[in-house]
Amino acid sequence: MTKFDEAIFAPPVGKLLDDVVSTLMHSLTRQNDKASILHAFVPLPPPFSPIQLIELHFPESSFYYRCFDDGTDEIVEEPYLRDVSDSSRHATLLGNTLMAELRFIRTDKGTFTRQDTSLFNWLVRIMTPALESMLTQSSQQESLQSVSKERDHHRVLVDITNSVLSHLNLEELIDDVAREINHFFGITFVSMVLRDTRRTDKFCAWSTDFSQEEQPERLQFILQEQSIMLMQTLRDKHACLLHLEDDPVLWEHDPLLLDLKNNHVGNAFFLPLTFGSHTPGVLLLAHPSRSLFSEENCELLQHIADRVAIAVDNADAWRSMTDLKESLKQENFQLSEQLFASQGAGNIIYQSQAMDDLLSQINIVAQSDSTVLICGETGTGKEVIARAIHQLSLRRDKPLVKINCAAIPASLLESELFGHDKGAFTGAINTHRGRFEIADGGTLFLDEIGDLPLELQPKLLRVLQEREIERLGGNKTIPVNVRMIAATNRDLWQMVEDRQFRSDLFYRLNVFPLEIPPLRERPEDIPLLAKHFTQKMAKRMNRNIDVIPTEALRQLMTWDWPGNVRELENVIERAVLLTRGNSLNLHLNTRQTRLLPPLGSDAPVSGPMSQMLNPATPENDEEERQRIIQVLRETNGIVAGPRGAATRLGMKRTTLLSRMQRLGITAREVL
């Protein structure tokens, strides 16, 4: 410390020097910033305080201290209005390293004496190291605060980035973004507004309100009016902070801002969600307090929005990939249906007049787009007829889509028929196209239409009349061009009378009814069908079966066939399984589940079934003798084996030999 020149002071003043030094040093150590350093001069005794104003000037800022006559004082950052001469002012540099200046000013128009100047210089020399130390500590503290704040910002960014980038589902991502922003910043209103992928001129908003102490209120809606700030943010790709008091007119005309105003929120921050050159939407943050949107918070929120934009782009890519996968799956389904439908009318095997008449009607109706109602007992081949109609129609190059109304639960049938939008119900994570959309341009075959629930019948009627659908959970009308073919084994007219089926839907379906005759009414078709199924099953099971015994065909033709063609196919499949040679070994079951004896068995058959299976039983021994001789000649005298006479006659080898001996049939008569 520079030695103080006591010679220029009067003796009473010199005696106070020790007290002055002690008081000043104690006061300096109590100050904690550049402005408060001026308070160190307040406790000096009156002989050392002939001044009323003290100014402390730094290159970047200045502070002004004023002492009033009543003993009060204040420090401000704006200069006082004053008119003082140079003789009433004293300025001293605090040091080259500080680049600061301390000024002492008298407002009583008095001048500073030599003693005052010496005192000021002495005080400055005492004050300079204290101020340097204070500024050094302050700079270090600011650096620590800056590092700590930067570390906190990085931690927030890392936490939010890890949280949002882990989501591929858009709804889950939006919920997590809202929760994280509210957690770290306390912002009560978080909204994400994204362009609707299905309608690019519309925007969908997901809004979360954390202002309530209970569960946050979540809302999803389509913007019906255009938002000025939304479009401006998307166009400029710059964040925009708005306050209600700055432009109340804008808040009245913008639907997003008006909604916030109605909820008593007057501060909104629009952040563009930009990733690369793509900006699908904005992040809208709002809070009643203006202080939450400080410059530092806004900068950090912009970094967060950049991360959220990446997550939104990832979620959009995942959704597109999922939709493409679903589309490919549906296209594969369509191709399979078309491939199966390519069998066409050639798959109908018949030679009866009843089926010929039916095919004539099919040829007539196939060329039109009229709705067809196929009726017939179970197993008569209604689906085959539907495929024939489609293959003969002008829609043959488009898909034939089939759905069995009885095989799908009523709760899922509406979604299968008309499709559903994403989020329509729990578990609807993707948009699903219904069978009507898949069949667009082609044919939709509704099997078992009599089992369609009553609550879905009006919606089906609307599709038939208006040719348009609405997906479940959606509000968009989708036009469809579909030819309808329905089938049932039930009496729909009786169901209408019993109020189990809507009469208006029945009349709309019954434009061109087709009745498929049961198999028992066209027995001449059975041999052809039996041969077709035998070859089909034998090829599939890698068997070689090229003979169907005459007796087997006779039994098939006289059977009642309650299950029609489907039952015949199942019987042939069972026979192929049981056959060990190249001649079909047939087994039949009655509807009472009584097993009939296989061909060649000696077990007697009695009752009505005996009369049905053996209508040509010989009335006497002579007729039986002639029949056995005829069969033996046809088999070249072979008795046993799959091609032998015993098999043809439905007897065991020993039984046939016994009857030949009893009837006196010799080899000469046979050959």
pLDDT digits (tens, 9 = 90+) for 229-273: 988 988 888 899 999 988 888 998 898 898 888 888 899 999 998
506, pLDDT greater than 80:
yes
227 within 8 A of 207, measured Cβ to Cβ:
no
Q: 222 or 507: which carries more pLDDT confidence?
A: 507
What's the whole-number mean pLDDT along residues 618-638?
78
315 phi and psi angles, rounded to 5 deg: -65, -40
Position 481 scores a pLDDT of 92
Distance between CA atoms of residues 448 and 452, nearest Å: 8
Position 445 scores a pLDDT of 95
628 within 8 A of 659, measured Cβ to Cβ:
yes
pLDDT band at 476 (very low <50, low <70, confident <90, very high): confident
DSSP characters over 573-610: HHHHHH--SSB-----B-TT-PBPPPTT------SHHH
The CA–CA distances, whole Å, from 478 to 202, 433, 440, 471 equal 17, 11, 11, 8
Distance between CA atoms of residues 272 and 232, nearest Å: 10
Position 165 scores a pLDDT of 72
Strand partners, 275: 278
76, pLDDT greater than 60:
yes
Q: 598 or 69: which carries more pLDDT confidence?
A: 69
24-33, 37-46, 152-161, 357-366: least confident range:
37-46
Position 102 scores a pLDDT of 74
Q: 23 or 536: which carries more pLDDT confidence?
A: 536
What are the DSSP E strand ranges found in 137-295? 189-195, 203-209, 217-222, 240-243, 267-275, 278-286
Position 599 scores a pLDDT of 39
Q: 216 or 371: which carries more pLDDT confidence?
A: 371
491, pLDDT greater than 70:
yes
pLDDT band at 70 (very low <50, low <70, confident <90, very high): low
Highest mean pLDDT among 78-82, 107-111, 127-131, 537-541: 537-541
Q: What are 367's two structure tokens?
A: 């060329």
Q: 124 or 416: which carries more pLDDT confidence?
A: 416
Highest mean pLDDT among 42-56, 428-442, 608-622: 428-442
In 3-state terms, what secondary structure has residue 176?
helix
Position 25 scores a pLDDT of 66
Position 97 scores a pLDDT of 64
Position 624 scores a pLDDT of 82
Distance between CA atoms of residues 628 and 30, nearest Å: 136
Torsion of CA 103, 109, 112, 116, to 10 degrees: -70
Q: Which amino acid is at 414?
A: E
446, pLDDT greater than 90:
yes
Structural domains in the chain, sorted by start: 6-139 (3.30.450), 165-319 (3.30.450.40), 342-517 (3.40.50.300), 526-670 (1.10.8.60)
What's the whole-number mean pLDDT along residues 81-96?
60
Torsion sign across C-alpha atoms 408, 413, 418, 422 = negative
pLDDT band at 196 (very low <50, low <70, confident <90, very high): confident
What is this structure's pTM? 0.44
What's the whole-number mean pLDDT along residues 280-302?
88
Position 593 scores a pLDDT of 33
505, pLDDT greater than 80:
yes
pLDDT band at 336 (very low <50, low <70, confident <90, very high): low
Position 2 scores a pLDDT of 41
561, pLDDT greater than 60:
yes
Position 604 scores a pLDDT of 38
Position 390 scores a pLDDT of 92
Position 602 scores a pLDDT of 38
508, pLDDT greater than 50:
yes
Q: 151 or 450: which carries more pLDDT confidence?
A: 450
83, pLDDT greater than 60:
no
Distance between CA atoms of residues 572 and 574, nearest Å: 5
Q: What are 301's two structure tokens?
A: 């929120």
Q: What are 174's two structure tokens?
A: 């939006």
Percent of the chain with pLDDT over 70: 73
Position 160 scores a pLDDT of 76
* Chain segment 2-42, per-residue pLDDT in tens: 444 544 444 444 445 566 666 666 666 666 666 666 666 65
pLDDT averaged over every residue in the chain: 78
191-214 burial, b at 16+ Cβ within 10 Å, e below that, comes to bbbbbebeeeeebbbbbbbbeeee
Distance between CA atoms of residues 663 and 180, nearest Å: 102
Position 74 scores a pLDDT of 67
The CA–CA distances, whole Å, from 369 to 127, 393, 432, 439, 464 equal 103, 8, 27, 14, 12
Position 79 scores a pLDDT of 64
Highest mean pLDDT among 331-340, 508-517, 558-567: 508-517
Nearest CA-CA partner of 347 in 552, 569, 585: 569
300, pLDDT greater than 70:
yes
Highest mean pLDDT among 213-217, 305-309, 665-669: 305-309
582, pLDDT greater than 60:
yes
Q: CB neighbours of 126 closer than 8 A, spacing ≥ 6?
A: 1, 21, 24, 25, 28
Starting at the edge strand found earlier in the chain, the sheet holding 62-67 runs 73-76, 62-67, 53-57, 100-105, 89-95
